[in-house]
Amino acid sequence: MPVHPSDRQRRPPRPGRQALFALVAVTALAAPAWSWAVVTAHPDARQSVALAVGAAGAALCAAVTAAAHQAAAARAAREHGTRVDATAQALEREAEHLVDQLLPALTEGLRAGRTAREVLAEHPQPRHVALHRLTHAVTAELDTARVRAADALARCTALEEQIADLDRVGLPLMVARVREDRVGAAETLREELPPVHGALARLRAHTLEELLAAARRSASAMETAAASGARIQAHLTSLLARLRELQDRYGDNPGVFGDLLDVDHGVSRTGRLADGLVVLAGGRSGRRWTRPIVMESVLRGAMGRINAYRRVRLHNTSTASIAGHAAEGVMQALAELMDNAANFSAHGTEVHVYVQEEDTGLSVTVEDSGLGMRVRERRLAESLVTEPRDLSTLRGTRTGLAVVGRLAHKHALGVSFRPSARGGVGVVVLVPPHLVTESQPAPGGPRAGHRPRRSAGPAPAAGPGPGAGTAAPGPDSPAAPARAASGLPRRRRGQTLAAALREEPDQLSAGPVTPGPGGDPGTRFASFRNARQPQRAEE
């Protein structure tokens, strides 16, 4: 340990010792003088001289001793003051060196990743004992603090990486596993997720519990919605059956028949809404066929499910058919697109539907004359048809495109948006080749249709006029339909009146049909159109 230079200097004798030395010296001088004075004095006066000279010598010794002690004390005090000043100046210089150079150097070294001892070895250390000890104590504490800070930084960095990994990989993986399998998601994730910090592990476990609870609630709500939609479909099925009975019963009364057709059309529109609810709830459509349905019937069935069907213009030159298991899905998707096109365009404009046969399938284009879509709206629409949504993930109250997206995902339909030459939006639906078949002529008519397997839902509409909401014709239908009392041909289920008339070439060539009480064939269509006149005025 360094020692201050002032501590190594030889200190002078203490004041008491110097006073003793002075007393001894004065006594040594005064004793011979006292003896000489006594010897030389008269014998009669020797006693008095001895006392007087002895008292004077003692006083002299005391005075000299006191003077020597005071002088030594004063000198010692001056020397101590000088040493204190020198020590104070040296301490001040070393303190300034410590504050101005050594401590900043330690700080910079620690920031650069060096240890405090390495930095201290490169600089002169204080020579004062207290500052020397202080410097080493600070150095040791800084090294300890540096180690603790590095350890805390490492733990913080590891925790941040775990949090980032949980946000980037963990949470999406948890959501995906919960959606795939709610029951075994916890076991699967326990094997797939890496171990993490205790607090983060508890947070992750709590998040997983909440996701599982939310998935259970969502699944329960979806099942409830699907069941409710199925009940609505079953109710609409019975209602449509009742309406068909009433149409057959009151077909000779144009006014009542038109009102019944109007109600039939309204029920078909309600059925589309119920079908959309069931589709978004993950349920199954209420209509299924075992054999193909001609494209014209699919298009007219879609038209019969929207309110503004009069504004739809079909441009269909295809004779292809859609596979029975996908016909209802294609019909529902086209109905939603036609309804969107009609709702987002002016009431006086038309919606055009084009059907073309391509090498990649059957292309159906729905064009309107609306204002088009902004970039953000188009991105949202594309996301709805490319990323299937359900009731648990759907935002907003507009469900048309979400239904289209679910059906497109189910039947592998391609749906894309493009600007329309008419100024609005064009939606192209590409039906893949494995769903498209060629129509084969039936023994009793130009196209073969088949009876659908009925379940909880109304039958598909064959057109926006009479017969909307009727099923496709069955194989047991007669080749040439019989005529009702009104003179109109009895249509097979799902057959338009024009098709029914085309199936009677012999009767038509023989001459005009005598109308019955209900009037000529146009009378029944007029009944429906007259019943819809108030709504046309509103549109």
**DSSP line for 318-348:** --EEE-HHHHHHHHHHHHHHHHHHHHTS-TT
pLDDT confidence of residue 454:
36
Per-residue pLDDT band at 352 (split at 50, 70, 90):
very high
pLDDT at 510 over 60: no
Q: What is the mean pLDDT of residues 290-313?
A: 89
Q: What is the mean pLDDT of residues 358-386?
A: 86
Strand order in the sheet with 320-322: 293-294, 320-322, 436-438
pLDDT at 49 over 70: yes
pLDDT at 463 over 80: no
Question: How far is 111 from 468, CA to CA, in rounded Å?
Answer: 82
pLDDT at 354 over 90: yes
pLDDT digits (tens, 9 = 90+) for 61-91: 888 888 888 888 888 888 888 888 888 888 8
CA distance between the termini of the chain: 105
Which is higher by pLDDT, 532 or 419?
A: 419
Long-range Cβ contacts of 128-131 (<8 Å, 24+ apart): 128/4, 128/90, 128/91, 128/94, 129/1, 129/2, 129/3, 129/4, 131/91, 131/94, 131/95, 131/98
Q: Are 432 and 272 in contact (CB under 8 A)?
A: no
pLDDT confidence of residue 448:
35
pLDDT digits (tens, 9 = 90+) for 195-251: 888 888 888 888 888 888 888 888 888 788 888 888 888 888 888 888 888 888 888
Number of other CB atoms surrounding residue 350 within 10 Å: 17
Per-residue pLDDT band at 17 (split at 50, 70, 90):
confident
pLDDT at 482 over 50: no
pLDDT confidence of residue 460:
39
Q: How remote is the C-alpha of 430 from its chain's centroid?
A: 32
Question: How far is 538 from 307, CA to CA, in rounded Å?
Answer: 11
Tokens of 523: 């009378």
Number of other CB atoms surrounding residue 354 within 10 Å: 16
pLDDT confidence of residue 498:
43
pLDDT confidence of residue 447:
38
pLDDT confidence of residue 396:
67
Question: How far is 108 from 123, CA to CA, in rounded Å?
Answer: 13
Q: What is the mean pLDDT of residues 107-134?
A: 78
pLDDT at 391 over 90: no
Q: Are 355 and 295 in contact (CB under 8 A)?
A: yes
Query: What is the residue whose two structure tokens read 């194989």?
Result: 475
Which of 287, 329, 293 lies closest to 447, judged by CA? 293
The top-scoring range by mean pLDDT among 264-268, 354-358, 472-476 is 354-358
pLDDT confidence of residue 10:
60
The three-state secondary structure class of 305 is: coil
Per-residue pLDDT band at 414 (split at 50, 70, 90):
very high
In sequence order, what are the residues at sequence separation of 6 or more whose Cβ sits closer than 8 angstroms to the Cβ of residue 131?
Answer: 91, 94, 95, 98
Per-residue pLDDT band at 9 (split at 50, 70, 90):
low
Question: How far is 198 from 187, CA to CA, in rounded Å?
Answer: 19
Question: How far is 477 from 298, CA to CA, in rounded Å?
Answer: 20
Which is higher by pLDDT, 22 or 464?
A: 22
Q: Are 366 and 342 in contact (CB under 8 A)?
A: no
The torsion angles phi and psi of 315, rounded to 5 degrees, stand at: -125, 80
Question: How far is 307 from 534, CA to CA, in rounded Å?
Answer: 13
Per-residue pLDDT band at 175 (split at 50, 70, 90):
confident
Report the half-sphere exposure of 88 (CA within 13 A, side-chain side).
6
pLDDT confidence of residue 502:
45
Q: The pTM is what?
A: 0.55
Tell me the C-alpha to C-alpha distance, in Å, between residue 373 and each of 177, 342, 364, 416, 509. 36, 14, 20, 13, 52
Q: What is the mean pLDDT of residues 458-468?
A: 39
Which is higher by pLDDT, 296 or 181?
A: 296
What percentage of the chain carries pLDDT values higher than 90? 9
Q: What is the mean pLDDT of residues 338-346?
A: 88
pLDDT confidence of residue 401:
87
Q: What is the mean pLDDT of residues 6-21?
A: 68
pLDDT confidence of residue 487:
42
pLDDT confidence of residue 439:
63
pLDDT confidence of residue 337:
92
Per-residue pLDDT band at 12 (split at 50, 70, 90):
low
pLDDT confidence of residue 286:
65
Which is higher by pLDDT, 445 or 16?
A: 16
